[in-house]
Amino acid sequence: MWTVAQLGADLAAGKTSSREIVEQALTRIAERDGEGARAFLQVNAEGARAEADFADRLRKRGVRRSPVDGLPVSLKDLFDVAGEVTRAGSKIMGNTVKKADAAAVARLRAAGAVFIGRTNMVEFAFGGVGLNPHYGTPKNPWDRNTGRVPGGSSSGAAVAQAGGMCVMALGSDTGGSVRIPSALCGLAGFKPTARRVPLEGAFPLSFSLDSIGPLANSVGCCAAYDAVLSGEPAAALAELPVKGLRLLLPRSSMLEELDAPVERAFQAALARLGAAGASLEERPAPLFDRRGEYFRRGGFAAAEAYHVHRPHLARLGECDPRVSARILLGKDFPAADYVALGEQRAAARREFEALAAPFDAVVMPAVACVAPGIAEAGASDEDYARWNLRILRNPAFINFVDGCAATLPCHEPGTAPVGFMVCGPAMSDRRILAVSAAIERALSRD
């Protein structure tokens, strides 16, 4: 499994080159029995080779643009790239070539990232299951014979990352779209405080809830890319001991009705952290149980998505009907209710900040279930709606309260992937990443 730290050391020591890493990624994308053809909507093979060669020439002259210089990354299909078309996983967006990079893409380019291709996604990023009827649904790396969902909406991003087709997959997260596929595919993922990473040039789902973050193989990798995306110094995370960490388990429905494998993995992780000296405290958190109010009639996402899609409402019939139906929920969302929802969000944000204040982080399962089969989740509209709500249940709350959260794997090797979510209030991002890295170290020790 590629990590930024290991690859950086190997590049510095001359053990490999950016071109060699890119060729390995391209080989994995092209594997006949792999998921590259479904994970990627576009592969930039020649451009990636040229960018890698440039990075290698700079390195030979002693130039290193950042800790992620020369490493291949994938981009979710909703990010603008100069000279390319942004489809947002749809077939109705036309063929307009973008003249400029999205802000996040520009920051990655300046840091020396090698853009290997654009990844598949739920149409318009509106769904947590990961299905796309237009371009196909990439299969989860776990239990591939069954054909399980990858999670959405950054579906292709997770499958590409899990398959070694990139060192980082750039995704977006409006209700869990980085953390859900990361958790279901056995990856680390990070949803930053929304305002830390500029959204310009990323096709929007919800102006109020959208955020941009990385899917990667470790928390440290997420932190390295988070520094680039947020425009912050590439400082190493504080190395925190697990002993003495104060972790809050919110006593609420977030910890209830979990799939048996999720329950087992999460409880085993808690036991391991407790044995390592972390302080685990469970407190009532009624705030978490009011999520039905926060997302009633589609909430911010439906209201704002309807506004985004007004220019092409006449073509919504060509879209995934499970996506278009959710967009159309916003048509009759009253303005007064929208204002009231904003007030409710501000109150919930303050309540969450007060609840989290005495603790280093709030922890819970990233997703309440393991990945269902693609056929099972898409068997009917009712099945899809049920699975979508179940998958979104835990992660979407953090977007509503404007928080930040990481997910990291906590399952035993060879079993269904389960994500352990580490959450904090707005602008506690680097602290949450440091806490997540400490938890990751504790859970990975033999």
- What amino acid positions are annotated as catalytic residues? 76, 153, 177
Residue 75 bridge partners (DSSP): 118, 170
What is the Cα–Cα distance from 445 to 5, expressed in whole angstroms?
A: 18
What is the Cα–Cα distance from 405 to 235, expressed in whole angstroms?
A: 19
- Phi, psi angle pair for 298, to nearest 5°: 90, -15
Residue 326 bridge partners (DSSP): none
**Cβ contacts of 396 within 8 Å, gap of 6 or more:** 175, 176, 291, 295
What is the Cα–Cα distance from 322 to 342, expressed in whole angstroms?
A: 26
Contact 191, 404 (CB under 8 A): yes
Residue 215 bridge partners (DSSP): 169, 189
Which residue, chain included where needed, has tokens 């709606």? 385
Beta strands at 246-251 and 279-284: parallel, antiparallel or unpaired: parallel
Residue 96 bridge partners (DSSP): none
